[in-house]
Chains A and B, each alone.
Chain A
Amino acid sequence: MTSSNTERRRPACRRRADGLGIARLAAIWLLIGGPLLLSAAFMVAYSVGLTGLLAHGLSFAAWAKVLGDRVTWVTLGFSFWVGGASLGVSMLGALIVLARRPARAAPPGRSDLTPWFLPIAVPPMVAGLTAVLWLGNAGALARWAYALGWIRRPADFPSPIYSTGGLGIIVTQAALVLPFLVVLFDRLSRVHRIRELGEAARTLGASPLAAWIRVGVPLLLRAATPTLGVYFLALSGAFEIPLLVGATYPTMLSVRVAQLFGQFDLSTRPQAYALALLYALVASVCAAVALRVRARPPRTERV
Chain B
Amino acid sequence: MRAERARPLRRSATLALTAAFLAPVALLLVWSFAGRWPWPAPLPSRWRASAWIDLAGTGGLGAAALRSLGIATTVAFAATGLGFVTCRSAAEARSRDVLRLLLHLPFALSPVVLGVGLEYSFLRAGLAGRTAGVVLAQGMLAYAYALILLSGLWNARTRAYLEGAATLGAAPRQGWVLVLLPIARPLLVLCFVQTFLISWFDYALVLLIGGGRVVTLTTSLYQFLLSGDLRLAAASALLLLLPPLVALAAHRHLRPTAFAADPGF
Contact = CB atoms under 8 A, between A and B. Distances in A.
Classify A-B as touching or not with yes or no (CB < 8 A).
yes
Interface stretch (A65-73, A199-207, A276-284): A276-284
A257 interface: yes
Nearest to A21: B89
B254 interface: no
Contacts of A240: 203-204, 218
Interface stretch (A162-170, A215-223, A293-301): A293-301
A103 interface: yes
B3 A104 contact: yes
Interface string A7-38: 00000010001000110110111011101101
A100 B6 contact: yes
A114 B203 contact: no
Interface stretch (B48-56, B59-67, B100-108): B100-108
Interface stretch (A56-64, A84-92, A126-134): A126-134
B104 A291 contact: yes
B86 A28 contact: yes
A129 B224 CA distance: 11
Contact of A32 (B106, B222, B261): B106
Given A100-B6, A105-B3, A272-B116, A239 B110 contact: yes
Contacts of A146: 39-40, 42
B28 A39 contact: no
B147 A28 contact: yes
Contacts of B245: 121
B4 to A, nearest CB: 11
Contacts of B258: 109
Interface residues of B, number: 88
Contacts of B237: 125-126, 129-130
Given A28-B99, A130-B237, A286 B225 contact: no
A interface, size bucket: 35 or more
B224 to A, nearest CB: 9
A35 B121 contact: yes
Interface string B226-265: 0000100110010011001101100110001010011000
Interface in A144-192: 144, 146-147, 154, 175, 187, 190-191
Given A36-B106, A133-B234, A123 B200 contact: yes
A121 B109 CA distance: 22
A165 B140 CA distance: 34
B181 interface: no
B116 A273 contact: yes
Contacts of B261: 187, 190-191
Interface in B177-215: 200-201, 203-204, 207-208
Contact of B107 (A51, A97, A110, A234): A234
A284 B109 contact: yes
Contacts of A118: 17-18, 21, 248
B90 interface: yes
A234 B103 CA distance: 14
Given A35-B121, A239-B203, A276-B112, A129 B234 contact: yes
Task: Summarize A's interface: helix, strand, loop or mixed.
Answer: helix
Contact of B121 (A39, A125, A300): A39
Contacts of A32: 102-103, 106, 140, 143-144, 147
Contact of B104 (A33, A103, A230, A239): A230
Contacts of A238: 110
Interface string A252-294: 0111011001000000000011001001100110111001100
A229 B208 CA distance: 26
Contacts of B13: 97, 115
Specify which of A42, A154, A230 lies most central, judged by the most chain B CB atoms within 10 Å of its CB.
A42
Contact of B241 (A35, A121, A273, A300): A121
A128 B115 CA distance: 20
A56 B201 CA distance: 39
A13 B39 contact: no
25 contacts: A28-B90, A32-B102, A32-B147, A35-B121, A36-B105, A40-B117, A42-B120, A97-B13, A114-B252, A120-B244, A122-B24, A125-B237, A126-B240, A175-B20, A187-B261, A191-B262, A239-B204, A244-B225, A254-B111, A258-B112, A279-B109, A279-B110, A287-B101, A288-B101, A300-B156
Given A116-B17, A123-B218, 8 more contacts: A28-B90, A36-B117, A119-B21, A122-B244, A133-B230, A147-B40, A154-B39, A291-B97
Interface of A: 13, 17, 21-22, 24-25, 27-29, 31-33, 35-36, 38-40, 42-43, 46, 51-52, 97, 100, 103-105, 109-110, 112, 114-126, 129-130, 132-134, 138, 140, 142-144, 146-147, 154, 175, 187, 190-191, 229-230, 233-234, 236-240, 243-244, 253-255, 257-258, 261, 272-273, 276, 279-280, 283-284, 286-288, 291-292, 297, 299-303
